[in-house]
Amino acid sequence: MRMSSLSLPALTLLLAGLAACSDATPGAAAPASGADAAAPAPSAVPLENPPVTEKLTLTDEQWKARLSTEQYNVLRRHGTEPPFCGGYTAIKHNGPGTYYCVACGAPLFSSDTKFESGTGWPSFFKPLPGRVDSQIDTSYGMERTEVHCARCGGHLGHSFDDGPAPTGMRYCINAITLTFVPASTAAKP
């Protein structure tokens, strides 16, 4: 397991709350998962470019029907996927394009703002304008800034102030919450 090479205290703390990694355990019994390949199965949710102010509110049952078990646990239950999971490897090698919310199909991040943080989670220094909201998260004895999709409220990850220029921010995002569309086929958000 590549997780064993991680020794950062923060990661160790985080690992306590982690679910199984669907990337690393392709033979595991996960009947609701379509993400047992290197990249997650394409989302059935249509990718849209709705107004920034538009909200999508569904019931818990509707979210369960729409999302895989792993996606639901992260997006609706504030879970954290293990590092190097959820399609991370595929995301690392993506070229120009746009990352959409796998839950509601709204655009979240441009590949122009993606960087390699070395954490094992996709990292960006800036979201698309108005697409990501945040709030203070005090779980696991830490004070962190939780970030979520502004449209559907789905939990994406956390933001930290140790990122690169020009913003100095690091949006640390669970790979399983993202759907990538290459620039050649994506509508410009």
Question: Binding residues for Zn ion, per CB under 5 A?
Answer: 101, 103-104, 106, 149, 151-152, 154
Cβ of residue 45: shortest distance to Zn ion, in angstroms?
Answer: 9
For the chain, helix (H) and strand (E) counts, in that order, are 4, 9
Q: Which is nearer to Zn ion, 149 or 178 (CB)?
A: 149
Residues designated catalytic: 172
Hey, is 148 helix, strand or coil?
strand
Reported as type and span, the H/E element at residue 182 is strand 178-182
Q: Which is nearer to Zn ion, 82 or 154 (CB)?
A: 154
Cβ of residue 152: shortest distance to Zn ion, in angstroms?
Answer: 3
First-to-final CA distance of the chain = 38
Angstrom distance (rounded) from CA 32 to CA 121? 23
Q: Which is nearer to Zn ion, 38 or 54 (CB)?
A: 54
Q: Which is nearer to Zn ion, 20 or 52 (CB)?
A: 52
Beta carbons within 8 Å of 14's beta carbon, 6+ residues apart: 80, 140
Cβ of residue 52: shortest distance to Zn ion, in angstroms?
Answer: 12
Hey, is 114 helix, strand or coil?
strand
Q: How many CB atoms sit inside 10 A of residue 181's CB?
A: 17
Cβ of residue 64: shortest distance to Zn ion, in angstroms?
Answer: 15
